[in-house]
Each structure stands twice: as structure tokens, then as C-alpha cells.
A and B are shown apart, each in its own frame.
Chain A
Amino acid sequence: MKAIAVVLLVIGTWQFGRGAWIQAKAWAAQGLIAHAWSRTLQGAADVKPWGWADTWPVARLSVPRLGVERYVLAGADGASMAFGPGHVRGTSIPGGPGNSVIGGHRDTHLAFMRKLQVGDTLTVERADGARVSYRVAAADVLDRREVWVAKQEGPARLTLVTCYPFDALSADGPLRYVVVALAE
């Protein structure tokens, strides 16, 4: 009998620890990245936040109304999005012309997306220190295959992508929540 209880406790602790670890490293990493970003602003290029990192900060994104501040990392793959919102390679760099697409997790760095409203201001700080303001123009729930939102044509804008629904437990849903903010 005891065996079951022990097994359950071990599994529970392991699962709980895994979940907590994902959250912990997501938030702890942003601290290390902040340091890398300040060096980037001083003129260093592609500063890795820790020795074995395969990503580096490319912009700082903030939402003044929500008091949110995030460091955007290069690449929107699992490896970089564990530590921050990721910039989709091949789309324009945040703060540049064209469409800059940023992906992130709804349960960590981009959880704030559900609170964004049309008209909210987003600010991007670029590696050269310049700041660009954006205003949220639209939000939509789309299928993950609707990659046209990453098209480069059209006005300078940010396109933020996270998973949808926000409160789902599983990470494998087909839906994405997309927010488009136009440069001012």
C-alpha cells in the first residue's frame, strides 16, 4: 500500500518540480538577459546571456499600462522561448520597417497578451537604443496554419503570437492568439 503512496508522491513531486522549473527558469533568465541587453546597448553585438546560450536579446518590449517589460530573444523556437519571447527569424527586426513577428508562451512571458486592448501602447527599445512606439490595432484568434500574419508587406508593425485558449492545460492546441500593433 505504501508503495502506491510513495510512487504517487514521487511522481507528484517530479511533475510539480518540472512545472515549477519551467516557470522559474523563464523568469530567472530574464534577469540574466537584462544584463546582456545593457551590454548590447553599449555597442556589443549578439551578446549571449550565459556562456552556453544559443540565443541573445534583440529588443526590449514594454507595455506601460500593464507595467510589463520583456527581453525579446533571437529565434522563436522552443530553446529560446523557454527564456523569453522569441523573434521569428526572417521577419523584420523589432523596431524596423515591415512586420516583426514575436512568439511567446501564454503561460509565461506573453501571458499579458490577454490583457492587451485595442489602443494600448507598446514600446520597443532597439539594440541601438532608439525607441519605437506601437499602438495595438487588432487581436484575433487564428489557426496555427494562418502564417500570412507573418507577411512582410504593409506598414511597420509588431505581430505578437501566443497559444490560445489562454487557460488550456495542454500545450498542443491548434489555435493562436495574434495581436497586431502598428508603429506610430
Chain B
Amino acid sequence: MQTETEKHPRPTLPLLALLALASALGVAVAIALAGVAMLLAAPAYASQSETKEGMLYLRARGADPVAAPLLGTEVLFRVSGPVARARVVQTFRNPHDVWYEGLYVFPLPESGAVDALRLVVGSRIVEGEIRERNVAKQAYAQARGAGQRAALLDQERPNIFTTSVANIGPGETVVVELEYQQVVRYDSGRFSLRFPMVVGPRYIPAAPLQVADAIRITPPVMRPGTEGERTNPVAIQVMLDAGVPLAAVESLHHRIEVKAPSESRREIVLAGGSTPANRDFELAWSPRAAALPQAAWFTEEKDGKHYGLLMLLPPAAPRTARLPREVIFVLDTSGSMGGASIRQAKEALELALARLQPQDRFNVIEFNSFAHALFDAARPADPDNLRAATRWVRALDARGGTEMASALHLALDGADDPEHVRQVIFLTDGAVGNEEHLFGLIRARLGGSRLFTIGIGSAPNSHFMTKAAQLGRGTFTYIGRVDEVRSRMGELFAKLETPVLKAVQVHWPAGGAVEAWPTRLPDLYAGEPVVLVARLDRLEGEVRLEGERNGTAWEARMPLAHNANAEGLGAVWAREKVGALIDSLREGAPEAEVRARVIALAEAHRLVTKYTSFVAIDKTPARAPEEALKLAEVPTLLPEGWDYAKVYGELPRGATDSRLALLLGTLAILLGLVAMRRFT
């Protein structure tokens, strides 16, 4: 170029001038436009104050994030061997000068047995009582009307609860304490404890599959950027006694501080004290390899009965020649998956695609408001098809509704093909409100397929994940961050590719009265233990388990004599039984009968269930009848990593660029005319 311009110096000058002129013109136009835009925009922004009157009205329509009691939560876990007991303290503070009734929708682990509630007002402590749900509701409403402080705890889903607190006076603080019991998860050599903190916004499909209680599971959500001090801070403390020497303790999503008073004990608190309630807390610990428990039997004596918990890990199966598989991947691309979740899901899916062997067949289904399959039918996992699938998956974006039923219809056909192991791998956050309808669908159409759920994101619906996997005779996996994808998927691949332990039967000693749950044990995948809770009248003899894996018989025995103590097994057993009774509804058991049995069990063990609630009433009247009471729902945070606009959509865009076009056009024509005059 350099040499050319030297050869022809003459044309260079006008060319440069032309360029300079053009850029000068461009700058001038830009400045003029910016000036005009600013002139026009400034008074318009200032006029916002003119609309103050309306602002009051609009904000009062249930959307004012400020006019509600403030909430803080403290959680204390005591983990003893396989059992965890949690105390959750919810502090409602009313900084306003009106009386409030606060309503807070929050999640708890789906397997938790909630067996205590206390209302604390100043120095007074009122113990809650278990009542039938509508009886509790009436007692609460009566106390509310009489100006008494009262608390009500209802179960909306096995993992969604609502606390109602009546008559929180101006400037007052009212505390609600609840406790629950659960068995910690043991899988692939790792124990884990999950504490959910926020109910992610749920998709409620339109009629005819109405979700009758939609309003009770969809709390108001604070728009990111408007939270202010309202982050619903949660402080967590865990007193961990593993019972065996520990190799590692880790918190998957929060920074923690750990003290180690002994080899088997740890004391854990959140670094910085508390965290906004916007994602699940997950703590995982692994015993040293030598101390890895193969079998354990814990017992508790309560009211003349023995309660026992059996955890037994079958020996690892040797890897054998695998049967060809047909793998159907189902990817949730609804609005709630927008942001971090869809990236995690796509990465997990690409890893799984890369893992397929040439003799396998596969297909990919994505769904939001509609479901689409990549291929008409499953195709061989040859390089061409895999390349096409990878390209297709990469291009997917998350938006729209969560019509999961149509995806399940596509993925499950009820067929049973003896030539192939058919595995459906379902990647979703489970942000739906019609769980029961979907469970019915899985039950009806499963056939010979196996359903594996992968819970994606910061606040997956764990009730959906576990129950769908149970009904689908598969397993569930959680992926909360992109950097967990590889290790969690690795564990899942081991489960998918090694033979399962099937037809597991339990034989209790003859002569004793034993009631154990679950009655039908699931198929066990690599790394999964047998977990049983039983009520026994005496601790004698031994329990024998048998099963079959890859045509080979398996047997294990465990003496029932008292060995290690674990507190709260009675509540765990009752919770398991309630779960089994509710499951029987899905198999057609009459609701009236199930309801009566659940209520009897819940009253005996003081449990919150679908049919029973806790109510606590402080008899001292607080609010005078002439003072008004305002109902306010405590707003919740959007789960971390979610994209607000993708979940809720936006208001219609109400402008064209016609004015910009007219202005630009006018300016350009004027400049053009000026240029014409000057240069001709």
C-alpha cells in the first residue's frame, strides 16, 4: 500500500479529505442527535414526579416490596451419624407503624419430618399443637380476629411450607421456631445434607390441568436490584458428628468456616455469618476410605417401641460387557432455566453425548412451551448423528413455559424392548406446580424405560427430582454449578453403565412384629445403599436381604441387637410411612381412608403433613379491635443465576423508531443539501 500511494500522490489528497469530511460529518450528526435526545429526555424523566398519586395506588396492589415484615432465618443442624435434626428460627420484624399478618412461603427438604413448632413473643414461649389442617386454620383465624398473636405452619408440598404469623405489632419482633428430622443422603461414598432456602418461581400450566393451590406455592418475588436490605438473610451452623473418622467436609455453594474438635466431629458456620436466601446450602462429607461404612444399624427406643435404621452398601459390581443402550435426553429449555442453569445443563448433556458408544441409540428432546425432538426416532450414536446433536444442543436457548407433560409424552412410550436398556435422562430444575399430574404420567407410561433426573441450578425442586426418579425406577443427581458438572456426571455414568441390583427382598426374623418402610425396595445403582426404617417390638435375631444382579444372587445379613443409638428415628419412621401412604393415593387407594390413617399417625408423632398443621396461639390479647390488621406476603429472592426477564417476560414494548428515522432522515437530507451547494 505504502509504495502505491507514493506512485500516485495526486489522488491521495482528495481521498483523505473525503474521509476526514465524512468522519467530521458523522461526529457532527452524532453530537446533534445526542443533544436533541438529551434535551427531549431530560424533562421527561423529571416529570416522573407528576405521577406520584398513581404510584401509591399501583404499589399498594400487593407489589410493594417494602410494606411487609422483615425476615431473618437461623438454622442449627445437629448431625449424628446418619440422622440430622434441624432447628429453623424465623424472626419476623415489623418496622412499620401498622399491625401486620405475615405470610412466608419457604422450602424444606422433601424428606424432613417437621415435628415441633414454637411461637416466641418476648420472653413467652408457646408450644405449637398438631391439628387437622382446617381445624388449625380455624383456630388461627379465630386468634387473629381476637387480636392474639398466633402462628400457623402448613405443608403445601412435601418440600414447600407456609408460616403465617398474626398480629405483629408496630416495631415488634415475633419469632417462629420449627424443627425437623431427616436421614442424610449417602451415595457414592459421600454423605450429604441439603437445605433449600427459596422456592423458585413455579410454572403453572393453564387449564385443564389446573393447579388448585397455585397461589399458595408462588410467593411474590423481588425484582433483582430492588431488594435493598431485604435479602432474607440465613445464618447456618452445623454440629457434625459423623461417628467415623472424616476425610473431607465441603460446602458446595457457600463459603464456610470449619473447626475440627476431633477426628469424627466438625463444627461449621457460614463464612461472614449469613447468606441471602437465594440458593440451596449443600454440605457433603466423606469418611476415610478405611472407615467407609458397608453396613450400619442404628436404633432408638421410644414409648416401648424400638425404631431402627438400616444402611447397607452392596459391594461394587464388576464392570461387565454392557448391553446396548437407548438413551433419550430430555432438556428443559423453559424460562426458569435461563442464565446459569442452561449452561450447566448443556455442558452435562454434551458430556453425556460424548460418552455414547457406536452400538447405542439416542435422541434429544427439548421442551419449553412446546416439546421438540431432534430426530423422529432414536438413531445410532455414530459420529454424524452425534455431531448433529451437539450442534443442535449448542444452539438451544431458554425461554417460555414449562410444559413438561408433552416432553414426558414424547420420551416415554410405555414400550419394553428386551434388546436395549432404555434410559431417559431428564435435565430440569423442576420449576413446575403440577407435580402430581406428571407423576401420574410417569407411572402410566414408564414401561421398560428407566428415568434419571438431573436437578439443575441453584434451587431445584427436590420433591420433583426424587419422586420422579423413584417412580421412574432410576436415580437423581444434582448439579448446582458448572464446575460440578464433570464429577456429578461421572457418578451418574457409573450408575448408568454398571448392572443394577434388582428384586431386593427383606426378611425380618419370624415371630416379631415388624413394620418397615419402604415396603418395596428400589433397584440399586452403583454407589447406592439400601436404606430401611423399621418399627420393631424387640431387638433380636437378624435381618436378611437378598437380591439379584446380572443373574447372580446377592445376600447380606445384619444382626438386630442394639448397636448404635440415633435419636429421632421414631419421627423418621412415621414420616416414611406418611410418604408411603400418600404414594398409595397415586395407585388408587381411597383418599378418605388414607387421610384418616395419615392424620392418626401425624397426631401420634406430632408431624406436619398434607392433612395436618401446627398451630400456636399466645392467649394474651395484643391488638385492640379498632386497630386494622394488614396481610403481607414476605417477598422472596429470585434464585441465584436465574434471569428475571426470562421467567416473567416483559411488558409490551410501546414505541417505534419512527421519530428517530424521521429525525435522522431530516438531518441527513439537510446535510446533503448543504454539501450539494458547497461542492457544486
Contacts and interface: CB of A to CB of B under 8 A. Distances in A.
Interface string A145-184: 1111111011000000111111111111100111110000
Interface stretch (B32-40, B298-306, B611-619, B621-629): B32-40
Nearest to B18: A4
Interface residues of A, number: 71
A101 to B, nearest CB: 8
A146 B63 contact: yes
A45 interface: no
Contacts of A138: 53-58
Contacts of B675: 1, 4-5, 8
B57 A180 contact: yes
Given A163-B654, A168-B44, A169-B663, A145 B54 contact: no
A140 interface: yes
Interface stretch (B350-358, B406-414, B645-653): B645-653
B658 A107 contact: yes
A171 B54 contact: no
B44 A166 contact: yes
A107 to B, nearest CB: 6
A161 B651 contact: yes
A13 B665 contact: yes
A183 to B, nearest CB: 15
A168 B666 contact: no
A1 to B, nearest CB: 3
Contacts of A162: 654-655
Given A1-B675, A13-B669, A107-B656, A147 B662 contact: no
Contact of A106 (B47, B63, B655): B655
Contacts of B48: 141
Contacts of A105: 654-656
Contact-size category for B: 35 or more
Contact of A148 (B56, B62, B680): B62
A169 B54 contact: no
Q: Which label, helix, strand, loop or mixed, suits the secondary structure of the A interface?
A: mixed
A16 interface: yes
A20 B662 contact: yes
Contacts of A137: 54, 57
Contact of B655 (A142, A163, A178): A163
B673 interface: yes
Given A4-B18, A147-B648, A165-B41, A171 B672 contact: no
B514 to A, nearest CB: 52
A12 interface: yes
A74 B45 CA distance: 31
A62 interface: no
B665 A146 contact: no
Interface stretch (A33-41, A75-83, A122-130): A75-83
B679 to A, nearest CB: 3
Contact of B666 (A16, A86, A106, A178): A16
A118 B659 CA distance: 28
B172 to A, nearest CB: 28
A139 B53 CA distance: 8
B654 A146 contact: no
A107 B669 CA distance: 22
Contacts of B53: 118, 138
Given A138-B53, A144-B651, A170 B665 contact: no
A2 interface: yes
A150 to B, nearest CB: 7
A168 B653 contact: no
A81 B631 CA distance: 39
B661 interface: yes
Contacts of A6: 672
A4 B223 contact: no
B55 A2 contact: no
Contacts of B57: 137-138, 180
A170 B656 CA distance: 8
A111 B679 CA distance: 42
A5 B676 contact: yes
A139 B51 contact: yes
Contact of B651 (A2, A17, A150): A150
A6 B668 CA distance: 10
Nearest to B661: A19
Nearest to B220: A148
A110 B668 contact: no
Contacts of A9: 668-669, 672-673, 676
A104 interface: yes
B271 interface: no
A98 interface: no
Contacts of B660: 19, 169-171
Given A107-B659, A140-B54, A169-B660, A161 B21 contact: no
A108 interface: yes
A170 B653 CA distance: 12
Interface of B: 18, 21-22, 25, 33, 36-37, 40-41, 43-45, 47-48, 51, 53-58, 61-63, 220, 223, 644-645, 648-673, 675-676, 678-680
29 contacts: A2-B676, A8-B668, A12-B665, A12-B668, A16-B669, A18-B665, A78-B653, A86-B652, A105-B656, A107-B659, A108-B658, A118-B53, A139-B54, A143-B223, A145-B648, A147-B648, A147-B649, A147-B650, A148-B62, A148-B220, A150-B651, A163-B653, A165-B41, A167-B40, A169-B33, A169-B657, A169-B663, A170-B37, A170-B657
